[in-house]
Structure 1
Amino acid sequence: MAEITAAAVKDLRERSGAGMMDCKKALTETNGDTEAAVDWLRTKGLATAAKKSGRTAAEGLVGVAVSGKTGASVEVNSETDFVAKNEQFQDFVRTVSQLALETGDSIDALGAAAYPGGGTVQEKLTSNVATIGENQQLRRAKVVSVNEGAVVSYVHNAAGTGIGKIGVLVALEGSAPVATIEALGKQLAMHIAAANPLALHEEGLDDALVERERAIAAEKAAESGKPQNIIEKMVEGAVAKFRKENALTSQLFVMDNKTKIADVIAQAAKDAGGTIALTDYVRFQLGEGIEKEQSDFAAEVAAAAGI
């Protein structure tokens, strides 16, 4: 039997898009013949993944998992919402969310992690692409933790336990009773899902984003025809408003639309007779930032019909 080298497995993997273990098995079955191995993978439906890998995947699911004082959120994309309802896909997202608790934020580390039942996460994903028939991608992961307190999760538009369209994690550090912290965390998580803050604190807002808002405000103010000193005050006021409305701790609580989040937390800590500090949060919304391809269905039908 021919020796199956790592280079041969790598070459076949690049050509077929199939998982590493599948490539090794294909080469073993074909006595090291790469061309025959490609055909072997095709007959098993495993070489089709490469053709699908270039297609836009903006649907799918966000998953969340909490274990002890650590929480993880992941986004796994598919091409259509139909796949998000597939039980195999949903199980994959749940499993990957649990694995992310150990691997951290790195997608490379998550993809290389051992998947229950054999192979790696990336190899399982490649296999899913072949069997389900759509491109799927591990897009991002984020892990948060606390030393004392709790990490609370929330899923909006849930498709099942721990999976949905928006996944939120809230990290609350403190000495207050855990039940109190968890109840507060659930409310804050619902607020985050609805209000979509861009940073925890005002100073954490992206400088480029703030400057963009400043430029827009300056252009609008200039059109007012008012004196320069008034224009400058208008611009600074607009920027201050932007910072306040987009930083979590300075946002108004959606439950009453009048109390700042920082004050909500301070009052909860006071009532509980302990300390509570919001140290971090995660909000993953499915498909945000992905440019979706626009297709003309009528034109596709006409092209297929040769019109």
Structure 2
Amino acid sequence: MSFTFLFKTITRDVAKVSICQHVQSLHTGCTLLAAEKALLMKLRKSTGYTFISCKKALEKFDNDMKQAEAWLHEQAQKEGWSKANKLEGRKAKEGLIGLFIREKAAVMVEVNCETDFVARNEKFQQLVKDVAFSTLAHHLNKTQSNAGYVKSVLTGDEICKLSADEETSLADRVALTIGRLGENMSIKRAVTLRVPAEWDVGSYVHGGGSSQSEVAMGRYGALVVFQGGKEGELDTLGRKLGQHIVGEAPESLGNMDDLPCGESETRLLPQTFLGDPSSTVAQFLRGQQARVLDFVRFQCGEKTGEDAN
């Protein structure tokens, strides 16, 4: 065998090995890249943060999803508080009323933002849910089921101090949502009710928001506490009364025997009933063998006594 032939054979074999190693290396790299991309997509979907932030988090914690997610939330919260401080003072008159009823208890909250566009965003609506659930949980923890009728009105500052979960307050949740959506936001107020077994709570929400959630949302909301009514028709009765309260905006309850005082009537019971203009609310209730005991109406962005202070 000549030296030239031997040299060519060795050179050819080395080249084959090099090519195979390169292809194998490239294939392994592609597999790794695909795995990292899948992890990145999973973190992005579960957290909602940007690809750049998620990539940075995964690199920082060597692809540990749990640590990366915790770090992302921590950074977003810090950025949210920073942005919240910068945006403080900007008017937030839009937003949503959130209303949730659970058995014999109910909560209605108002959460504000700057624009109607953000009010339609699912992250803002999640904030409304968090506020409603946390506020009602606080109310139920403070009251007993046999305590009769219990009604609590909370200011925004009081609500912000409540816990959203074991690690964060509702104030933290507001800051986090501000950081994500870039608008000033605030929790304005809430009312919680708990009624005895023989009473019922009706409700109605109107104007935008979400109808696909267990927390009803819109620009107007009403809770109405009533007793009596025809068996099997209590939900309909509560809704009709809630619709009337939202539409006619009564300021006080009045008495069943009060006479109407004209178009400017602000007492609920003497008002012309929205569902039947031929009768007053009191007359409608008599026909239903029911009576209204209390009601609350919220309109998003309306001025309250707290605003005047």
Band the TM-score falls in, shorter-chain normalisation: 0.5 to 0.7
1:106 aligns with 2:106: no
Structure 1 contact 61–84 (Cα < 8 Å) conserved: yes
Aligned match for 1:185, one of 223, 228, 238: 238
Q: Deviations over 1:123-153 (max 9, x none)?
A: 1112212221111011111123321231122
- Partner in structure 2 of residue 157 of structure 1: 207
- Structure 1: stretches of 5+ with no match in the other structure: 1-39, 204-236, 270-275, 291-307
Cα 1:156–1:42 shift into 2, 3 Å: closer
1:268 aligns with 2:284: no
Structure 2 contact 107–132 (Cα < 8 Å) conserved: yes
- Partner in structure 2 of residue 121 of structure 1: 170
Structure 1 contact 149–172 (Cα < 8 Å) conserved: yes
TM-score by length of 1: 0.62
Size of the aligned set, in residue pairs, is 209
1:287 aligns with 2:301: yes
1:95 aligns with 2:130: yes
SS at match of 1:139: strand
Counterpart mapping for 1:203-218 below 5 A:
none
Q: Deviations over 1:13-61 (max 9, x none)?
A: xxxxxxxxxxxxxxxxxxxxxxxxxxx9998454121111111110011
Q: Deviations over 1:160-203 (max 9, x none)?
A: 131111111111123x4563222211111111111111112279
Structure 1 contact 149–181 (Cα < 8 Å) conserved: no
In structure 2, C-alpha distance between the alignment counterparts of 1:184 and 1:149, rounded to whole Å: 13
In structure 1, C-alpha distance between the alignment counterparts of 2:101 and 2:202, rounded to whole Å: 7
Shift in Å, 1:95: 2.1
Cα 1:280–1:82 shift into 2, 3 Å: same
- Partner in structure 2 of residue 278 of structure 1: 292
- Partner in structure 1 of residue 97 of structure 2: 62
1:71 aligns with 2:106: yes
Q: Which moved more, 1:78-87 or 1:101-110?
A: 101-110
SS at match of 1:160: coil
SS at match of 1:265: helix
- Structure 2: stretches of 5+ with no match in the other structure: 1-74, 140-151, 305-309
Aligned match for 2:179, one of 130, 146, 150: 130
In structure 2, C-alpha distance between the alignment counterparts of 1:264 and 1:170, rounded to whole Å: 15
Cα 1:132–1:258 shift into 2, 3 Å: same
In structure 1, C-alpha distance between the alignment counterparts of 2:301 and 2:210, rounded to whole Å: 18
Structure 1 contact 144–280 (Cα < 8 Å) conserved: no
Counterpart mapping for 1:29-48 below 5 A:
44=79, 46-48=81-83
Cα 1:240–1:129 shift into 2, 3 Å: same
In structure 1, C-alpha distance between the alignment counterparts of 2:275 and 2:181, rounded to whole Å: 41
In structure 1, C-alpha distance between the alignment counterparts of 2:231 and 2:181, rounded to whole Å: 42
